[in-house]
Structure 1
Amino acid sequence: MTAPLRRWLTPVAAVLTALAVFAGPIPVSATPTTPPQPSGHDEEDEEPEFLGELIEVRNREYVKAKSQLAESEERQVALEKEIKKAEAELKELAPQVAEIATQSYKTGRVGAISTLLEADTPDSFIARATALDELNRVNDQRIKEVNTVKVRAEQAKVGVDEEVRKQQKLESDLERGKLEAEKALRLVGGTGLTGGLVDAESPVARVAPGRNSDGSWQSLGCTENDPTTSGCITARTLHMYNEVKRAGFDRFVGCYRSGGPYEHPKGRACDWSLQNSGFSPWYNNDMRIYGNNLTAFLVRNADRLGIYYVIWNRQIWFPASGWKSYSGPSNHTDHVHVSLL
């Protein structure tokens, strides 16, 4: 294995090994015998590929690709040795080829006949004919040997090119798998936050109102009726509410509330419960997966929805800094909080 390739594989292995370690089982108390189907999702939909499953697949693919890469490199080394051996043999055969060329020049077809006609006795004629036949046989054998070595060298070179292409594809596959796993972990806070129980992909949200051409967001006032209370929310918050609903998250939610600091009184925040009414900390896979998937949707669409921050399951996410530990008045194990710019 080349030094650059070894340096490349080391961080990949470290990342995927870490993923495998962190993707451990969740507490027994959080594992139901038969998790209920979250509301708002079609029971006939295909089962999502959870982050934990994605990490396992990436690990398996990595191990397989790494093994294939090592075998390919071994074949490449063997083929390169074969090329060098063939080139050395051709070099050794070069004088013989030159000798054959000289003989052919000196004793062309007419020269060979002349040699036979110059025989002054029957015995010498036979001797000369035998000698010419033996010379041709030896020359044919030498030429065949040279051609065989040349073909072997050419085939080995083709094999090396094929192995190099195969290695490039394997390296590309490894890098893509690494990036996909890292992206999934980074977006949803890793397996420590989700336990791996989160859909590996999320729907794409439509862009919220009030976004400037440079990517910044206009400041919006509380102008829209809040569909969850009698208060008001901004147009951007209403857009986020509708997009979350459109993505299939239909459980209880509350947005505007009067009094207190932060974004709720400004109509710029919503609390998404894990159940159909009220709030209760997650205690089974159904509730945890719902919170995980809702969080993943918000984080993955943050730049399209104009999200300020998200809080879920003792963690807070900001676009600028990613996920951090959170310990506020609420540990947010009973709902997903989202604030808008």
Structure 2
Amino acid sequence: MAAVFLRRLSAFFALLIAVSVLGVGGAASPALADPDEGGTKTLRDALESAAKGQADAIQKLNASKKRQVQLQATVKNATASAKALESQVGQIANRSYRLGRTSTVTLLLNSTSPDSFLQRIQQIDMLGQIDGQILQQYRDDVARAQAAKAAVDREIVEQQKQVAALTKKKKEAELALGSVGGGGAAGGFVSANSPLAKPAPRNSDGSWPKESCTVDDPTTSGCITPRLLNAYQQARAAGFTHYTSCWSQRSSGEHPKGRACDFSANKSGFQNVAASGADKTYGNNLAAFFVKNADRLGVMYVIWYRQIWMPGTGWKAYSKSGGPSEVHTNHVHLSIL
């Protein structure tokens, strides 16, 4: 009798363990969906540094290019305006050369009456004002064109610095990927038909504002950043409504910071098998959605089906070993800046 009781008790605890691990419908619990979130802490720190720096550099580079176009237009307009005044300036110069310094006295002496004398004075005064205005406008236009050109040159120098920064950050990201055995080019998941997401708010200079875990996580009892909430909401608005888990208590990584979500390929939860069929297609489309909207959402990296994507490197092989959760074949991992 005692032996039967012990067997039943053992079976009961085994059942409890199975339920806690698998959850309803055979899905893994949120805590096991992404055990180490893309590798070691060193890798994640390198990824964050590279991706954040690259995102900021891209914004500065785009701003520099936009400003460069504006300044080039200023140079063009100022030069055209100065060109139009050249003939008038030439006429003034020729008149000054012909009449010389005595021209004013000569004009006054040639007057035949007091009224004519006064009229000549008014004409001379008006002529002087017109000459002065034309010459000043000419000088102002030329100076403006020169200043604009100098500004363009400074923008180009800054642009070159940003390109160098991008190259350096890209190299850092590649080295970080190499630290877990990845880094090789991969086919990736991209779709031109992916819908556009609503952009997350930026600073006035185009950079991303610093955010912390301040809003309620709709998928757990924890918190996430406003930027991650926007990404989650935009994904759902685009039709990606399968089971998702964002915040979780861990010793490191993006999840406890409220900057990462795991999107299950299966509708009901994280299955302990590699996604196939409709589930695989769902994951492919979701990964492609995040890639297409990376700049709008502030995506740091995406991991799906043994591949990892970052803005500066594109899709690379993610050769970490392990089960479906470790190699991300049962869920799409999203990390936001």
TM-score calculated relative to the size of structure 1: 0.42
Which structure exhibits the higher relative contact order, with contacts defined as CA atoms closer than 8 Å and separated by 6 or more residues? 2
TM-score calculated relative to the size of structure 2: 0.43
